[in-house]
Structure 1
Amino acid sequence: MSALGRRRESQDEEDYWMGSKVNRNKFNLFDDEVTVETAETLAKSKKLLTQFEDEDVDTVNWDDTPVSSEAADSSPISGVSARVSFTPSSLDSTTPTVQYSKSQEKLHSLTSPSSARSLEDEIPSYTSTSSGSKNQEEEVQYLRRALKKARELKFSPDDTIRKMILGEPYSLEVFRSKEEKLQLLDKAIQVHDGNAITAVVLFLRQTIKPSLFNLELQRRPVAVNHYLSYLRAHYDFKELGDVLGMLNRTEEAAILKYKQAIGAPDVRGKMNALRGCLKAHFIHEPDLVNEAHLVEQHAALLERQWPIEDADSKAEAQGDPVFKQYPRKVSILNMPLITTLYYCCFYHGRDAENLLTSPLAIKKQHQLSDKQYMWTALSARSRLKHWTGIEELLTAKGWFGSTKNVSVIGFDKVCEILHKTSAPNDVLSKYMRMIDGSERRLNLARKYKCHEVVVETLVHLRDRQELQTYASKLPPGSPGLKTAQDALRSSTIKWKT
């Protein structure tokens, strides 16, 4: 056929389809209702019949990509093809009848109930992975839409703080600008709710620059106090020290570092930490001069305790008689200063002053008072039953080489210590006679049952009646009774009337 003829035939077909001979309303493939006549007319079309004759035209993979006919025939699950024919009954019910090709028959045999393996068994990994990823992606998309919607809503600081106080759901992420965040913090401070203030401060710390956060925090002392309390409760000492230093609260920062230093489990580590803390936070601060002295004393005490403990533990292991008679109950490490002094007075009371164990060296270095030293040393020697050592402590040199008994804590306290350690009656009575004040001496002598001192005091007071009453209560043959009887028979004593 010539080109002119082919062109004329094409023009005739186009005129036929586009002309009035065909009712286009009845032949619309997108209409919801399809009549029998329309289906028959469609079947007569050469082009559509050609499409239905090709079995593998509609062969597709599971991902809707076309495959070749060979792949469709070789694998029962690689692709499907279908031939659709319309029957009058099916057209009336608008349900097409599907006729399967060979590849579809294989797939139908796999998916039928009588088959030993199902389609899910053939592709289990694909189904689970695909559905899980899809669900996760849908959830992420939903959350993004919810967050976008929440950001679009207008949340006021008053409403948000009210929800925080009432325990209702709230969101701080909707406040984007610095001004909105600071308004939120000011509102929390205004209502005096500590939890709300802390929550907003932490939100600011996470969402604005550190320099800006520190600047705005300094302008709000109430927020600073709540933030510091939060850091202390959560043991965030590094951040706490930085904030205190930023606020120029040097005393609090120094005490914080001191607490961290003494919390070291190892003694050597504690000594090094104390020295470092002393140099960094105490020495260069004029307002912390007294505290610096105390930290220095603490470090010096640890440096003294360490070698003493090392030497005494070795001596105890080697069977030293003193440690065998009086075994050590605890280590001297980390003990207070007075306890360390008592320990050295007990085990090293006569050591020279140039030794670390010398009680006098401890008194001098740590600037202990005479009363502190006397009470501690007297208690240690009294427990050791070292009465001559007690005499040495209570003896002082007078004018022209003379000696006299002196007690900076008072002889009443000396008698109290001696009585607690069950000192002999003659030793106790000796120092009881040195108590100033007749009434005070008489009361303590009666309390500690120093009968001779009681009788001597009553005679000194010339109280004959009270002496007779007291003598009647004394056991027969006791030294106190004999002294009382001699005083009552004496004619040189002028008794009170």
Structure 2
Amino acid sequence: MDQFDSESYWNRSSSRGFSFDDDDDAPSASGSVGSNLNVCNILNDYDTISEASFDNSTTGSALNLSIKSVISNEALKMLLQEQTLDDRILSKGVAPEEELRLLRRQIQTTFYNPSPEATAHKLLLGKCVSLEVFKSLHEKEQLLDAVLKCGGGDAVIGVLLFLKKTLNKTNYHNVLEQRPQALQHYVSYLQQCQPQEAIEVLQNFGKHQEAALMQFKVAMACNDLQQRKRKLQQLIDQYSGVGMVSVYLQQFEAAFKLLDLVEKEHTALDNQIHLNSTPIELLYQCCRKHTNWKEQDITRTISPFRLSADLQIAPAQFEWTALNERANAQAYADLENVFERVPAWNPMKQKQFHISFSLELAILRLYALQAPTTVLYMFLSKMNNTMEKFELAQRVKCVRAVIDALAGMKDVTQLTQLKETLAQRSEEQFYCENALKALQTKRWSTDNIKLKL
């Protein structure tokens, strides 16, 4: 065919080019574009057409590709459904033909029922989707399951709000009860915008512990002291007889007592505490104001010993707070009284040193706060393991404790070497010499006993 014949062929009216808008000129008999969509026919047509042909010089054969080898039936169906929907909004100045085409597709979107998977995909992409086409309870459940499977948080909330608006309360609760993940999304959403409704939902589903904790959070968010106390009291009264949340009642009661102390002792503590003060912060201020550490007075309201008992502060927390406050205040003489306890099994016995956390942790903390070596030595002398005492004493540079540890291990060689490094006529040197003499005396006595035997 020559060039002229080729051009005349393409200019003939019988050889029209393909256009996506041909449906504007020849609408279907049913009036719905989606109704004539037949995926199976499309697939069969594509199977009979060679998509690509390649001349192979070696084999000399043509390679025919089927569309089924490129995309699955399900994916193609979803793609075609997606293409039948159009999200564009009519703009001003649009041509009548374009307006007619867009209006047809908008009507099709209204009456055509897309698959839940395609709708979920569009929601995840942030597209505007009309959910009113899902009318039955089964269709709505399928849509929710499809969105949950995709894992989109905002999309799940959007579908849940649609279900809440279009279903009665019983059916909506049944949907949530059968899908714990959806319930979790819904409660998280309500917690941000409607906390009271979130509490009611949790109570309706029997989740009393979560509801109690959320009520506690709402109460503690109140900026007015009296309002916060009132909400806490209501919370305590509501759950006093419920065994499922009894584990939290102590926390609620302690928070109420803390507010009482803040209200009563605000002035006594030099206005150093405020409405949102924690029990440890209040304990620190009580330690700062406490003067007589020799007596564990529990009659005074701001006594740290009474406060710890009222707010059920653990012994380790009390001791750690008192250690830090007394060390920061350089009131090192009170530290021994902080850690002295009367044995519970024998109240008539004298006080004994007791610490509820690691001695090593206490010594390292005091060293970091630049406590004197005499204070470090007092705590190091309480350690029973000689090797651990020796290593820790070296870390905190407490020479006297190092000497005690070497004497305990009867290491004369290291003691002699240590003595040579100490300043002449210093207190540490005299202490090291005495330790060496004590070891030599014990060794001489032991040797004499062996000779007599």
2:401 maps to 453
Verify the 8 A CA contact 1:462 1:493 in the aligned structure 2. no
Verify the 8 A CA contact 1:261 1:273 in the aligned structure 2. yes
Q: Does 1:479 align with 2:436?
A: no
User: Per-residue deviation at 1:167?
Assistant: 5.8
Cα shift readout 1:336-374 (whole Å, capped 9, x = no counterpart): 223322221221243842222011211222333444333
**C-alpha distance in 1, partners of 2:369/2:181?**
56
Verify the 8 A CA contact 1:455 1:484 in the aligned structure 2. yes
1:287 maps to 244
Q: Does 1:201 align with 2:160?
A: yes
**C-alpha distance in 1, partners of 2:186/2:347?**
69
User: Per-residue deviation at 1:156?
Assistant: 3.9
1:276 maps to 234
Select 1:432's aligned residue among 380, 390, 403: 380
Verify the 8 A CA contact 2:140 2:163 in the aligned structure 1. yes
Letter in 2 for 1:334: N
- Aligned 1:92-491 pairs, distance under 5 A: 149=107, 153-158=111-116, 160-161=119-120, 163-164=122-123, 170-176=129-135, 180-182=139-141, 184-185=143-144, 188=147, 195-232=154-191, 234-280=192-238, 282-313=239-270, 330-350=272-292, 352-395=297-340, 403=350, 405-409=352-356, 412=360, 415-488=363-436
Could you tell me which runs of 5 or more consecutive residues in structure 2 were left unpaired when the two chains were aligned. 1-99, 448-453
In structure 2, relative to structure 1, the CA distance for the partners of 1:176 and 1:467 (3 Å cut) is closer
**C-alpha distance in 2, partners of 1:411/1:197?**
53
Cα shift readout 1:202-227 (whole Å, capped 9, x = no counterpart): 22222343444334443444433333
User: Per-residue deviation at 1:454?
Assistant: 2.5
Verify the 8 A CA contact 2:342 2:349 in the aligned structure 1. yes
**C-alpha distance in 2, partners of 1:429/1:169?**
73
**C-alpha distance in 2, partners of 1:452/1:354?**
41
Verify the 8 A CA contact 2:262 2:273 in the aligned structure 1. no
**C-alpha distance in 2, partners of 1:193/1:372?**
43
TM-score (normalised: structure 1): 0.57
User: Per-residue deviation at 1:301?
Assistant: 1.4
Letter in 1 for 2:281: T
Moved more, 252-261 or 394-403: 394-403
User: Per-residue deviation at 1:262?
Assistant: 1.2
% same residue:
25
In structure 2, relative to structure 1, the CA distance for the partners of 1:215 and 1:439 (3 Å cut) is closer
Cα shift readout 1:264-303 (whole Å, capped 9, x = no counterpart): 12233222222222333x3232111111221111121121
Letter in 1 for 2:201: V
Letter in 2 for 1:450: C
Cα shift readout 1:316-343 (whole Å, capped 9, x = no counterpart): xxxxxxxxxxxxxx53542222332222
In structure 2, relative to structure 1, the CA distance for the partners of 1:371 and 1:267 (3 Å cut) is same
User: Per-residue deviation at 1:247?
Assistant: 2.0
What SS does the corresponding residue of 2:219 show, helix, strand or coil? helix
In structure 2, relative to structure 1, the CA distance for the partners of 1:479 and 1:269 (3 Å cut) is same
Verify the 8 A CA contact 2:287 2:322 in the aligned structure 1. yes
**C-alpha distance in 1, partners of 2:359/2:163?**
67
Cα shift readout 1:460-487 (whole Å, capped 9, x = no counterpart): 4322211121112112221111233455
Q: Which is greater in Rg?
A: 1
> Number of residue pairs matched?
338
TM-score (normalised: structure 2): 0.62
Verify the 8 A CA contact 1:382 1:417 in the aligned structure 2. no
**C-alpha distance in 1, partners of 2:273/2:329?**
19
RMSD, matched Cα: 3.8
Letter in 2 for 1:494: R
**C-alpha distance in 1, partners of 2:342/2:301?**
27
Cα shift readout 1:100-157 (whole Å, capped 9, x = no counterpart): xxxxxxxxxxxxxxxxxxxxxxxxxxxxxxxxxxxxxxxxxx9xx9899458734244
In structure 2, relative to structure 1, the CA distance for the partners of 1:439 and 1:219 (3 Å cut) is closer
User: Per-residue deviation at 1:190?
Assistant: 6.3
1:90 maps to none
